[in-house]
Chains A and B, each alone.
Chain A
């Protein structure tokens, strides 16, 4: 069984589980930039949460496939059609026998649409994960973004549950304004007190520099930071907010490099990092300072809410 890519869109890659435990070798975790949407779409298709699926940046995607099979689409908001007929996101889409065209329109809200095929996609395993890491060209489909004419094979090995619609309460809220809970980090005290107050509370705009590595935050008034760089490169992670000399901070995402030389001025909390994958240029982004205890409570609540559906058979 095969998925024939006719329009890949701006950037479509295969993503699967995180590539964990190798940051001391310089290896990013990768995986879906919005890992919760990806896990829910996989579950809707009846797959394991970390089965290999497509991450389609900004939509604008089309492919042909041979039924019968089941797939699911979700994440950023976009129209989905099968042979011209509109179908719903976040629910199993059953494709009958014969050649069908699936089309995903441009994303109208959010940045990344996920498409999972029941059984998962075949992909190159590299250092323990099938996720594509474009800068070094490994994982996924030949380590690269998909092109028109690529033929993806359905693995058939990753189905472990009956396909099921994602309950409305679990579907991530895709917005154009994002309030991201964050904690101060290693060099937050390098900010002037006025800049610290603005970092936690004032709105920024997501800039045009947006990729799986990170999101630039822009404002009219650059932040004032005591030193332009660290004397020694220090570890950074998805969710780390760094501030270069320009005073325009950026938030690192799934493909974040493992070390960096800019002051680390905040850390988006673990429970909310998946939302970074849906921020698009022009969106409004506000960091909200929370305590360690609040962060843990948000994580526990979210994990408990998702577990029942993701683990259901």
Chain B
């Protein structure tokens, strides 16, 4: 099985089983202070380092040891945020497309979308973009043929298997089903991003 390997002269990647394992490894690696970037995703942890400060072989050892020593947080402790969403209309221009991909009416889709909790699997792509796992398998929408250059902050999207939230405005190719006014970004906080991998999101239709 593939373990830690170099993927560039200043990049190394460690394969893991899921996002919870990736986060546990990333948290442990952060304590080492040896890395410029530590990026946990759904199947890997990738690190960037200065090759003039640390040898590649030592990086691979740090990664392998972190995988051995990492302790995952208990699943039951995850914080759940209730996020009110304005579904459809100009806030969610693609909701018909996404509902149709599931063979549902828009009203049925909204009910389905609010019926379960979604774990924040990872952040990435653009600033504050959160990948939420666990969307009902009946939704089979893909990414838009032509990405939008500007998706407003707070937009909520959905594709096969995933929902997403844009904490900040940015470009994007996901079909957009709605938008939330929930404060997702606060520069006055030490960590300005409200969504953190590991927490859970429950959507409800805003009034």
Q: Which residues of A contact B (CB under 8 A)?
A: 20-28, 126-127, 133, 135-138, 183, 185-186, 231-235, 237, 239-240, 257-260, 264, 267, 269-270, 292, 295-296, 299-300, 303
Contact status A24-B168, CB under 8 Å:
no
Query: Would you call B10 an interface residue if the criterion is a C-beta within 8 Å of the partner chain's C-beta atoms?
Result: yes
Q: Which residues of B contact A (CB under 8 A)?
A: 5-11, 13, 26, 36-44, 46, 48, 51-52, 56, 122-129, 131, 149, 168-171, 187, 192-193
Interface SS of A by simple majority: mixed
Known: A237-B48, A300-B52. 16 other contacts (CB 8 A): A21-B37, A23-B124, A24-B40, A25-B127, A27-B128, A183-B9, A231-B43, A232-B43, A234-B44, A234-B46, A235-B46, A235-B124, A257-B125, A259-B122, A267-B11, A296-B9
Contact status B41-A26, CB under 8 Å:
no
Q: By CB atoms of chain B within 10 A, which of A24, A127, A183 has the most?
A: A24
Contact status A24-B9, CB under 8 Å:
no
Q: By CB atoms of chain A within 10 A, which of B8, B26, B122, B124 has the most?
A: B8
| Chain A contacts for B6, CB-based, 8 A | 183, 292
Other-chain contact of A135, B10, B26, B126 (Cβ < 8 Å): B126
Contact status B42-A233, CB under 8 Å:
yes
| Chain B contacts for A133, CB-based, 8 A | 127
| Chain A contacts for B42, CB-based, 8 A | 232-233
Could you jot down 28 A-B contacts, CB within 8 Å?
A: A20-B36, A21-B37, A22-B127, A23-B39, A24-B37, A24-B38, A24-B123, A25-B128, A25-B193, A27-B127, A27-B128, A135-B126, A136-B126, A136-B127, A183-B9, A232-B42, A234-B13, A234-B41, A235-B13, A237-B37, A257-B126, A258-B39, A259-B125, A267-B7, A267-B11, A292-B6, A295-B9, A299-B52
